[in-house]
Amino acid sequence: MAWKKPELLSPAGDWERLLAAVDYGADAVYLSGKSFGMRSAPQNFTEEEIVKAVKLCHGRGMKVYVTCNTLPRNHELSQIVPFLRHCDRAGVDAFIISDLGVLALAKEHAPRVQRHVSTQTGIVNYAAAKACYDLGASRVVLAREVPLNEIRGIRDNTPRGLTIEAFAHGSMCVSFSGRCLLSNYMTGRDANRGACAQPCRWEYTLIEKERPTQEFTLVQEEKGAYVFNSNDLRMIEHIPAMVRAGVESLKLEGRAKSAYYVACVTAAYRRAIDFFSAHPDAPLPPEILEETEKISHRAYSTGFYFGGEPGQTTDRSQYTRKYEVAAVCLGREGPFLRLAQRNRFFKGDMADILQPGKPSVTAPLTDIFNEDREPIDAAPHAEMAVYWKTALEVSPGAYLRIKRT
């Protein structure tokens, strides 16, 4: 298959994260209203904010996809119809839908909005993908369990009018395509209604029925094991393989992650896509790969794409954090860059600067001042204004990162 530049689809859990996706190179964003989305933890978007988001993104040549991918109960169906109609009037480009009933309602009440079938539906073969197309879907978001050789088979046996989207980066779920009941059983929070408590990340021990007061460890040390803890997905080095298999949209997981996470991952995949567009058979430059190490993450894997399993880290559930955001650039004031502190940093720290549309650069924070332009040796206070005297050109919205390990 000839190289065709894929769409880069980034998460937007709130307005700040939407701006990060817009500024750092996404082709499209996916977001949720206050209801009906599979991520209830983020702030998400009011109906008025959805209108603003569409206007902003369309002005930048980007698309907006709205998630309606919970599994609604009977009493919710009458509530979802006005929301679908609102999104139609707002100019939303597509809905991401799990439920067949919602698919039919969207076709009826929001005919101008395309319909994408969510990964929660569990599409793993071309017959299911074609059935979705026949029901009015223009795209399927494949189950995360489908290897690349089978994606190729789906692409070869489905109409060209049906596009294929697949996850390229982010957290993996231990359950099939996110269809998990563990959270509901253990906490009463339904993962299929956007309220997952992530018990797959918890530490477990073993209790035998006849000895309920005695706990047994699952590893040799005196502690439990994280038996459901999946590694994170990273396919940035294998984008050409995904494209050649027939994937037309690369999805980045992370609506519940920070704006910095969205900016960093979007920027890395934007650079990688652009690089492979020019050099599809060349290895990814290490500096682009390194960007994915500058966010909090679990151990990386290639998921199910090359067969086998994504793997697990069973002795811990902590994130790897090599860098932390020290400050965000607010703009220039004369010889100074005005910074908003995010984490404590010190005079002389080496800042790794991430800014839209440019490779990251490093520079020492040698001349820093407080709001009264008095020299300071550290910026210890949350959100404090810091003035950095430098001739370096840094865009507003850029992130200054400090390596801590």
Give residue 404's pLDDT.
83
- The distance of Cα 275 from the centroid of its chain, to the nearest Å, equals 21
CATH of the domain at 286: 3.20.20.70
| pLDDT score of 193 more than 60 | no
| The two structure tokens encoding residue 40 | 């209830």
Rounded Cα–Cα distance for residues 220 and 145 (Å): 31
Q: Are residues 247 and 339 in the same domain?
A: no
Average pLDDT over residues 51-65: 98
| pLDDT score of 228 more than 70 | no
Rounded Cα–Cα distance for residues 306 and 382 (Å): 44
Whose tokens are 């009018």? That residue is 161
Confidence of residue 220 (pLDDT cuts 50, 70, 90): very low
Q: Are residues 257 and 376 in the same domain?
A: no
Q: Which helix (H) or strand (E) holds 362?
A: strand 361-364
CB 320 within 8 A of CB 299: yes
Domain assignment present for residue 376? The answer is: yes
Closest CA to 102 of 167, 192, 203: 192
Q: Are residues 255 and 338 in the same domain?
A: no
Percent of the chain with pLDDT over 70: 84
Average pLDDT over residues 118-139: 96
What sections of 43-111 are H helices per DSSP? 47-59, 74-90, 100-109
State the sign of the Cα–Cα–Cα–Cα dihedral 96, 99, 104, 109: negative
Secondary structure (DSSP) of 135-201: TT-SEEE--TT--HHHHHHHHHTS-TTSEEEEEEEE---SSGGG---HHHHHHS--GGGT----GGG
CATH of the domain at 364: 2.40.30.10
Closest CA to 33 of 21, 47, 48: 47
Q: Are residues 295 and 367 in the same domain?
A: no
pTM for this prediction: 0.86
Domain assignment present for residue 181? The answer is: no
| pLDDT score of 28 more than 70 | yes
Q: Are residues 339 and 296 in the same domain?
A: no
Q: Are residues 248 and 380 in the same domain?
A: no
Instruction: Among 142-146, 160-164, 265-269, name the one with the lowest average pLDDT.
Output: 142-146
| pLDDT score of 324 more than 50 | yes
Give residue 298's pLDDT.
83
CB 145 within 8 A of CB 130: no
Number of compact structural domains in the chain: 2
Longest Cα pair distance anywhere in the chain, in angstroms?
74
Q: Are residues 45 and 99 in the same domain?
A: yes
- Sheet of 336-341: strands edge to edge? 361-364, 350-354, 399-403, 323-333, 336-341, 385-389, 368-369
Percent of the chain with pLDDT over 90: 70
| The two structure tokens encoding residue 167 | 């996850």
Query: Residue 151: which domain range?
Result: 7-175+232-301
| pLDDT score of 222 more than 80 | no
| The two structure tokens encoding residue 378 | 């550290």
Average model confidence (pLDDT) across the chain: 89
Count Cβ atoms within 10 A of the Cβ of residue 166 and give its class: 0-12 exposed, 13-18 middle, 19 or more buried. buried
Rounded Cα–Cα distance for residues 292 and 54 (Å): 28
Whose tokens are 């050109």? That residue is 393
Give residue 35's pLDDT.
79
Whose tokens are 């706990």? That residue is 215
| The two structure tokens encoding residue 162 | 């049906």
pLDDT digits (tens, 9 = 90+) for 355-402: 998 889 999 999 999 999 999 999 999 999 999 999 999 999 999 999
Question: Amino acid identity, residue 82?
Answer: P
Q: Are residues 141 and 254 in the same domain?
A: yes
Rounded Cα–Cα distance for residues 168 and 233 (Å): 7
Give residue 91's pLDDT.
98
Q: Are residues 380 and 263 in the same domain?
A: no
| pLDDT score of 314 more than 60 | no
Highest mean pLDDT range out of 41-55, 146-160, 290-304?
146-160
Domain assignment present for residue 392? The answer is: yes
Domain assignment present for residue 35? The answer is: yes
Question: Cβ of 75: how many Cβ atoms within 10 Å?
Answer: 7
